[in-house]
């Protein structure tokens, strides 16, 4: 039975992805900063492991506890919404620590065992902000664009060892807004000079024409893991698919 390790599995995309793979007979290692035994249904195929992707010690302990990992899904992330000029650099560094360096650290921790076995798949969850420019998301977009370029290089670097790297690009999800895990409220990062610009954007976010469901992301991860072609990008959600088609068609 294959084993998948998912970061940020306490809620949202990570939680739904864990449910999807559990339901399909996989061993699931659901990692969380604050383990919640009630987040997922009890199963002999499930282990909940504490993990902070910004801590080298936490990563090492989680990977050791996991044992052999066939698939790594880097889903953990935090958001930041607001005018870039007033976004504190200390917070931007926190965003990069999780969204960018946390992903890289997890890859470094897991690649050696995949390389030795000459098998495995890494799925990095980014965002539709990498598919089209989106205002008031500059720092967040930068953290996700970095992982897109990183993953493109990994594809070529790991193919020699028969290890795959894939991208899943979720769109906007009202139930799991990418600012949900933000420490700073978007309202704190909209100075009065930006109010006229920001108001219609937030209004559109409240009633988007196309949105992404958590199940869309879980299905995209499933498709990426089982893909037998060289496809790199898997847009998740109707809005992300529309942006993807506009960019790559």
Residue 140 is among the residues annotated as catalytic for this protein = yes
Annotated catalytic residue: which of 13, 140, 160, 194? 140
- Helix 89-96 to helix 138-159 angle, to the nearest 10 degrees? 30
| 8 A C-beta contact, residue 224 and residue 158 | no
Return the CA Rg of the chain: 18
Alpha carbons 73 and 221: distance in angstroms, whole number? 8
Residue 131 has φ and ψ, to the nearest 5°, of: -95, -25
CA-based nearest residue to 63, from 1, 120, 22, 142: 120
Own/partner contacts of 128-132, CB < 8 Å, gap of 24 or more, are 128/169, 128/170, 128/171, 128/172, 128/212, 128/235, 128/237, 128/239, 128/240, 128/243, 128/244, 130/169, 131/169, 131/235, 131/240, 131/243, 131/244, 131/246, 131/247, 132/243, 132/246, 132/247
What letter does residue 38 receive in the DSSP assignment?
T
Residue 161's closest CA among 113, 219, 211, 205? 113
| Active site residues per annotation | 140
């Amino acid at each position: 039975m294959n084993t998948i390790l998912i970061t940020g599995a306490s809620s949202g995309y990570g939680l739904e992805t864990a449910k999807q793979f559990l339901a399909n007979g996989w061993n699931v290692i659901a990692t969380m900063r604050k383990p919640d035994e009630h987040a997922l249904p009890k199963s002999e195929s499930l282990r909940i492991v504490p993990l902070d992707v910004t801590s080298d010690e936490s990563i090492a302990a989680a990977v050791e506890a996991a044992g052999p990992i066939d698939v790594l899904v880097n889903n953990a992330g935090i958001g930041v919404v607001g005018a870039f000029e007033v976004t504190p650099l200390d917070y931007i560094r926190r965003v990069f620590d999780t969204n960018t360096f946390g992903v890289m650290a997890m890859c470094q921790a897991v690649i050696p065992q995949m390389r030795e076995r000459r098998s495995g798949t890494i799925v990095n969850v980014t965002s539709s902000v990498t598919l089209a420019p989106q205002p008031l998301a500059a720092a967040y977009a930068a953290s996700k664009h970095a992982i897109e370029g990183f993953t493109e290089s990994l594809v070529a670097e790991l193919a020699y060892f028969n290890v795959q790297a894939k991208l899943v690009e979720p769109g906007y999800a009202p139930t799991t807004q990418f600012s949900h895990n933000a420490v700073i409220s978007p309202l704190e990062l909209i100075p009065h000079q930006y109010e006229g610009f920001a108001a219609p954007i937030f209004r559109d976010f409240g009633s988007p024409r196309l949105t992404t469901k958590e199940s869309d992301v879980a299905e995209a991860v499933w498709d990426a893991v089982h893909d037998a072609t060289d496809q790199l990008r898997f847009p998740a959600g109707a809005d992300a698919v529309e942006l993807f088609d506009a960019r790559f068609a």
